[in-house]
């Protein structure tokens, strides 16, 4: 959309949901006298993610991009290695691997869910492919069974990018239980947010131990704090990826209400269709397509329109739909 068109759109790009308990939890680090990461609130968030995803270890990061960067380090990606990813994604997924010198192999997305088309993956696997990184667009699951089968056959790892996930499920499994490692986002635009923030979950114990060192600037300081070694030292390349306790405080207030947030958004879902049914019947517009076996948390409602549709009219209808949805949310609360 052109800049002048954006100015005429009165709908905000996003409206972060606040539970009302954020300030209460922000006061906790002040009274604890601890603002750095890995404090009590950070650990609560870790446990919540581990229970939800049934992983071996979950760890908060400064962003989902940072989580993906750690994933690239865990995979020991080398320059000129290749990672398959969808062609329709935000740049963060590609950047995390490109920073390691990786070549992104972009594969077309499916026309229905706008996710990586699993039917095109095998033909796109060159000799130096190391991993597949599916992104669940708008929190609607990719076809993970097929992708995991391809990955096992080709001996590839699957880095699941669930940046828009809250309570979404794929055939009974929570998104984030399938790939390894898995990146999450808690950016302001997401359903559950800490303003800026992300997380990485790992099922492989070796990944968990390695990520621990990487996120402690490459040292084994965590082992020293657990009295497993008598001193700590630099072990490998690493950096500072952990957010502070204030970020974790906001996130914990949101995590406590994650199911309620998802329930409210689902209740508003039917208010969002903004184009007449006749447009869809004439092939001018298409609503999101969600398979019956997938549970999503309505991170994003979108409508695909043909060039024949007046975009200004769509924007006006979107403003009206947003007003109705806000009124519905207020009523539900």
Indicate the DSSP class of residue 168. Answer: -
Task: Report the C-alpha gap between 60 and 37 in whole angstroms.
Answer: 9
Residue with tokens 């800026």: 196
Q: Calculate the dihedral angle through the C-alpha atoms of 130, 77, 79, 100, rounding to the nearest 10 degrees.
A: 130
The reported pTM is 0.85
pLDDT at 199 over 60: yes
User: What would the mean pLDDT of 306-315 be, rounded to a whole number?
Assistant: 70
pLDDT at 75 over 70: yes
User: What would the mean pLDDT of 198-222 be, rounded to a whole number?
Assistant: 92
**Domain spans in the chain, listed from the N-terminal domain onward:** 22-255, 258-332
Per-residue pLDDT, 131: 96
CA-to-CA dists, residue 207 to 41, 70, 315, 323, angstroms? 23, 10, 46, 46
Q: Which residue has the higher pLDDT, 279 or 146?
A: 146
Helix ranges (H only) for the chain are 3-8, 22-32, 40-53, 64-74, 91-98, 144-154, 205-214, 221-225, 245-255, 258-268, 277-281, 311-332
pLDDT at 333 over 60: no
pLDDT confidence bin for 283, thresholds 50/70/90: low
Task: Report the C-alpha gap between 76 and 171 in whole angstroms.
Answer: 31
pLDDT at 233 over 60: yes
- pLDDT tens digits, 139-185: 788 899 999 999 999 999 999 998 766 677 788 777 777 889 999 99
Contacts of 173 (CB under 8 A, 6+ apart): none
Per-residue pLDDT, 110: 92
Considering the chain, what percentage of its residues have pLDDT values greater than 70? 83
- pLDDT tens digits, 110-139: 988 889 999 999 999 988 999 999 998 887
pLDDT at 217 over 60: yes
Residue with tokens 């492919």: 129
Topology adopted by domain 22-255: 3.40.640
Decide: residue 91, CB within 10 A, 0-12 exposed, 13-18 middle, 19+ buried: exposed
- pLDDT tens digits, 24-69: 999 999 998 999 988 999 999 999 999 988 899 999 999 999 999 9
Per-residue pLDDT, 11: 60
């Amino acid at each position: 959309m052109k800049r002048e068109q954006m100015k005429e759109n009165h709908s905000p790009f996003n409206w972060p949901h606040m539970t009302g308990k954020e300030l209460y939890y922000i006061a906790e680090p002040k009274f604890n006298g601890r603002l750095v990461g890995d404090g009590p609130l950070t650990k609560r968030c870790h446990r919540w993610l581990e229970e939800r995803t049934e992983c071996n270890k979950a760890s908060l990061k400064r962003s989902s991009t940072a989580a993906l960067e750690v994933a690239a380090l865990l995979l020991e990606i080398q320059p000129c290695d290749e990672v398959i990813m969808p062609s329709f994604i935000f740049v963060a997924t590609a950047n995390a691997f490109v920073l390691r010198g990786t070549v992104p192999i972009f594969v077309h997305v499916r026309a229905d869910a706008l996710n990586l088309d699993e039917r095109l993956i095998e033909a796109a696997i060159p000799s130096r492919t190391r991993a597949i990184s599916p992104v669940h667009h708008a929190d609607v699951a990719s076809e993970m069974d097929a992708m995991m089968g391809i990955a096992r056959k080709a001996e590839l790892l699957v880095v699941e990018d669930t940046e828009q996930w809250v309570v979404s499920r794929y055939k009974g499994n929570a998104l984030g239980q399938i790939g390894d490692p898995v990146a999450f986002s808690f950016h302001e635009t997401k359903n559950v947010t800490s303003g800026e923030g992300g997380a990485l979950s790992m099922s492989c114990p070796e990944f968990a131990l390695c990520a621990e060192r990487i996120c402690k600037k490459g040292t084994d300081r965590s082992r020293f704090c657990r009295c497993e070694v008598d001193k700590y030292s630099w072990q490998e390349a690493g950096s500072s990826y952990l957010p502070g306790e204030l970020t974790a405080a906001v996130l914990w207030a949101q995590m406590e209400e994650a199911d309620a947030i998802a329930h409210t958004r689902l209740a508003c879902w039917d208010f969002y269709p903004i184009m007449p049914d006749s447009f869809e019947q004439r092939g001018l517009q298409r609503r999101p397509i969600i398979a019956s076996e997938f549970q999503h948390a309505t991170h994003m409602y979108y409508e695909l329109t043909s060039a024949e549709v007046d975009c200004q009219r769509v924007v006006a209808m979107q403003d009206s739909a947003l007003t109705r949805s806000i009124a519905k949310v207020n009523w539900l609360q």
